[in-house]
Amino acid sequence: MSLHEPLLSIEALHVHIRTAAGIVQPVRGIDLQLEAGETLAIVGESGCGKSMTALAVMGLLPVGGSVAAGAVRLSGYRLDNLTESGWREVRGRRIGMVFQNPMSAFNPTMRIGEQIAESLVHHRHLDWDHAHRRAVALLDRMRIPDAATRAQQYPFQFSGGMLQRAMIAMALACGPELLIADEPTTALDVSVQVGLLELLRELQTETGLAILLITHDLAIVAEIAQRVAVMYAGQIVEQAPVDALFAQPAHPYTAGLLQSLPERHEGAGPLSAIAGTPPDLLQPPAGCAFYDRCPAALRLCATAAVPRVEISATQRALCWLRHPAVVGSGAVPPLAEQQGSES
């Protein structure tokens, strides 16, 4: 037993999904820790395994999906082998969830206030009257105007941004320690996005809530995350504090992502893009999954198991190019030069 248990600990997690074509491996051995009060963003492109990681943490893997190896712990309490009834005590109560499409999180035939109250009755054993008053207070806290009237309305009567805030109210109703938010702002207008992010920050300061944010949007990451894990082809290829990640990316994939942002474009030429496509996770490659697309790949990257290199106390990368033996050999130019010619 270690002295300190992180709030959330993911250890060597592997997720398999059985499909007609074979076993897909969307998550291939990831390690993550999240402390109370912290916001960690998992960022990556479609199919990289970020949502499957979130679903595994919530015990909501799709049919055919399973945790093939590794462990997920909440304050030391093992989650990955819970029964469905065990999960029901964790989900909603200790872990709140927010998804991209709030419409799918609400029952369309039930009033908003009633749906929020329901979880309080179930998890906190409040009577309905009391639970209703709490629901209205929560909606009010989420800056939903005229919350008492709104609580009596149905989901279709809410705008997208307001429904998203109602979903957060529902997720936080029972005072969870961890909020998992999967693309929570993607469907929203910019000004609504910003309001929602500010609200999350405030709640975090007040309650010490930890947030696991799943997103592909680097601007949202920059706005709210303290630490970032970059996923590619089922692995965390880089993990760093947000400032270090944006200022000095250690993995060529992170660097490529940042360079393809139109905001970072200078001059008149084409935008920088990452050529190629990610590997097929039915048959993950033996060496580096980014090998085919990497502008600086060495021959050993194709076949040798990739080392996890500590760049600093808080930043690490899954990359041969940063390995002391390779860096010492002088075979690798600095990352900035490698990226310069790529388009």
Partner 1 sequence: MSEPLLEITGLTRRYRLPGGSSLLAVDNVSFTLARGEVLGLVGESGSGKSTLGRMVLGLEEKSAGEVRFRGETLPRRYRRADFQRYARSMQMVFQDPYATLNPRLTIGESLAEPLRLQGWRGDPAPRVREWLERVGLAASMAGRYPHEFSGGQRQRIGIARALITEPEMLVCDEPTSALDVSVQAQVINLLADLRREMGLAMLFIAHDLAVVRYLADRVAVMKSGQLLEVAPTEQLFTAPSHPFTRHLLAVRPRPEPGRRRTD
Interface residues toward partner 1, by CB under 8 A: 45-46, 160, 189-191, 193-194, 197, 216-223, 225, 242-243, 245-246, 256-258, 260-265, 270-274, 277, 343
Our CB check for partner 1 shows the closer of 171 and 245 to be 245
Alpha helix ranges (H) inside 235-303: 242-247, 252-259
8/303 Cα distance (integer angstroms): 33
**How many C-beta atoms lie closer than 10 Å to residue 261's C-beta?**
13
Least Å from the CB of residue 145 to partner 1: 18
CB 335, min distance to partner 1, A: 16
* In the complex, minimum distance from the CB of residue 191 to partner 1, in angstroms, rounded to a whole number: 5
> Given the complex with partner 1, which of 196 and 326 has the nearer CB atom?
196
Rounded CA separation 320/309 (Å): 8
Which residue in 145, 134, 210 sits closest to 174, CA to CA?
134
Q: Which is nearer to partner 1, 304 or 336 (CB)?
A: 336
Q: Shortest gap between Cβ of 118 and partner 1 (angstroms)? A: 30
Q: Compare residues 63 and 190 and give the one whose CB is closer to partner 1.
A: 190
Work out how close the CB of 236 gets to partner 1 at its nearest, in angstroms, rounded to a whole number: 17
Choice between 135 and 230, CB closer to partner 1: 230
Distance separating alpha carbons of residues 226 and 5, to the nearest angstrom: 19
Which is closer to partner 1, CB of 130 or CB of 264?
A: 264
CA–CA separation, 79 and 205 (whole Å): 26
User: Least distance in Å: CB of 320 to partner 1?
Assistant: 21
Q: Which is nearer to partner 1, 273 or 304 (CB)?
A: 273
DSSP 159: -
Burial-class residue 314 by CB neighbours within 10 Å (0-12, 13-18, 19+): exposed
Residue 288 Cβ, how far from partner 1 at the closest point, in Å?
17
Question: In this structure, are residues 11 and 71 in contact, taking their beta carbons and an 8 Å threshold?
Answer: yes
CB of 219: closest distance to partner 1 in angstroms?
Answer: 4
Query: Do the beta carbons of residue 225 and residue 292 sit within 8 Å?
Result: no
Separation of alpha carbons 211 and 35, rounded Å: 9
63-77 burial: b if 16+ Cβ within 10 Å, else e:
eebebeebebbbeee
- CB closer to partner 1, 180 vs 221: 221
Strand order in the sheet with 8-19: 22-34, 8-19, 65-74, 77-78
